[in-house]
Structure 1
Amino acid sequence: MTGLELRKNRVDALLGPGLNIHRSPLNGRNFEYISEDPLLTGKMGAAQIIGLGIAGSTGTIKHFSTNNQEAHRHEVEAVVSVRALREIYFRGYEISVKEGQARSVMTTYGPMNGLWTSGNYDLNTIVLRKDWGFEGIVMSDWWAKANTEGEPSDMKNHAAMVMAQNDLFMVTSDASDQTQDNLVEALADGRITRGQLQRNAKNILGFILKSPAMLYEMDMISEEELEDRKGDTEEDAAIDDIIYYESDEKGDVYIPGKDWDTQMGATIVFGINVESAEYDIEITARSPLGELSQLPITLYCDNVFKEMISFRGSQGEWFTDKREFGTLLGPSCHYIKIYFGATGLEIDNITLRYRKRVPGFDD
């Protein structure tokens, strides 16, 4: 059923299953990892990949490898013997690759035995591809860092990822911006070669060729699915009309709202480009209704419920509501959706106020 749902929603790869071992009951991701048993983890992971594949989609096995805690996960080093890695921490991934034919792998945020996993050649090339015969793509976790052996980690060190065959850096709002990493510099001074970049591209293209996306492009699907895929829905049209707002020199994002349709049931969607930071949200609005009126709005960030705010009527007076919005990671684009639960609220503007930087992401 999950595979069918992915296919229906035009998703070719699920970001799961998670195959890390339950090394500690305090690991904040144990709810999505399978067990403390490497064999059971591998068998269940392989079964999930095979099940997704029936519908044409696939999964991304993660976080490769030794992601055993959430606290300080960008910096905490896992120091593990080769035997323990092979028999315990790698075993679930090996079974999922060999028996489940996994085609997508995500590395971790942190270092393992001195090297951040997104730039670890032994992990992503020797073990995964040479020893296990993996032929798919490897991606980083979101805004992960990498390092060259003996040097500190850096989110801009994509050259180490290229050499290790970590094919995709996730994520970037503008892939054409060549100033956001060190690839041009590394290619010029010989640290990486054109052949290594072509190898990454080959891995990515090989994955795409086996995905439903390619079948759609070649019209090699059923007439019903083809019609559904190519038909423009109201939601598709709305996506094309999204307006994007940039942060100013202070890190704030100002979104004017005077022209919005705020009738009951209306939805507003816009994009914001921000840096990694904690933000407050300020909503300046008014309502001609009296103080006993309730005017709820619901906020979503990247399609995830954020908060429901209930305003009161203000008898036509402008007011500003300020509250904590939370952390946004970047540099990246995020999507904000506002649902209006009642008629009678007029929005002048919404401002996301930069509160403080989140360390460790955009150093």
Structure 2
Amino acid sequence: VGSPSARFAEDALRMFRACRFVAQLGFVPEAGILPAIKAEALRVKGLSLFRVKTELHKLLMAPYAGRGMDLMVQSGLAGMPCRIKKEGNYESVPILPELLDLVGVPQNPRFHPFDVWGHIWHALNHSDGSLTLGWAILLHDVGKGREGVRGIRPDGMPSDHGHDKVGKAMAEGILRRLGESEDLVNRVAFLVGNHMHFGPSRFLPDAALWRWLRKEARSGTFRRTKDLQEAFRELGNLCLADMAATTASAESQALARHFANQLFRMAGAMPVHTADLAISGRDLIAAGIPQKVLKRLLPLLLSRVQDRSLSNTSEVLQRAAAIWWEKEKGKGHYPHTSA
């Protein structure tokens, strides 16, 4: 209403709201909006991190999140600091200056029709509306073009070997700087760190996929099978959004979607905790196995199911437990066998 610069001068948060409205509604901003934001962007330094992050979250969960985030980057808002009050003093908090480094960074045209930033914001338009996936897409290629990562292939094309590992560390730093929860930080770090593993894994035998899932199940990152499965669902969605902003054919994207569903199903069959087993300590006690040995027995059963040497069914685990207990008694380690 009236002069954009006057409205932004009244409340600097309106500049972030402009970006959020673009993300939610898919509108192209009026011609005077972008120059007005550029002219007033320094006012952002007086905003609280809480207010900025509230708008940022809404933007990342919006259907046209890529368009809104592109306005944040092109206007310079992403490179501005806001502030947080700690122990009575204000501290400056950079918002997302790392994104500005990605503008104009070239990629191999064989696979990418956009520069690094163009690829990211186009991929972000294919998010599923969750905050976790929004952050993961936004940061999945943040390590590209960096010193020690950017290289040149023998054919003269650019490459970014290792950008997933560098990006994982950068994502952790960015999200902690912005005060995101540790659960969100850890999940986004997992997604950014594994997004390059998805594509090659499509051509691996099932045994190799089970080894990957087992490694993650034993990593300590996940509490239960449902957490592991949710992480792999998000990983599949991240990689599908990633492919949608490349030169990948519709056929390749369909095959990737099929693989994502397969990996999701397999993750649902990989136990992470003994509570994910089809048998409980109470079941084993009822079968005559003493309670005092369960701390040894249940982790052994879990490990064997993770190794795929036992299926996760009550009947199979009951039989394996009985055999193990008979062997233990035979060794003479447990002369008193009452529960």
Q: Name the TM-score class by shorter chain.
A: under 0.3
TM-score w.r.t. the length of structure 1 is 0.23
Richer in helix (by share):
2
TM-score w.r.t. the length of structure 2 is 0.24
Larger Rg: 2
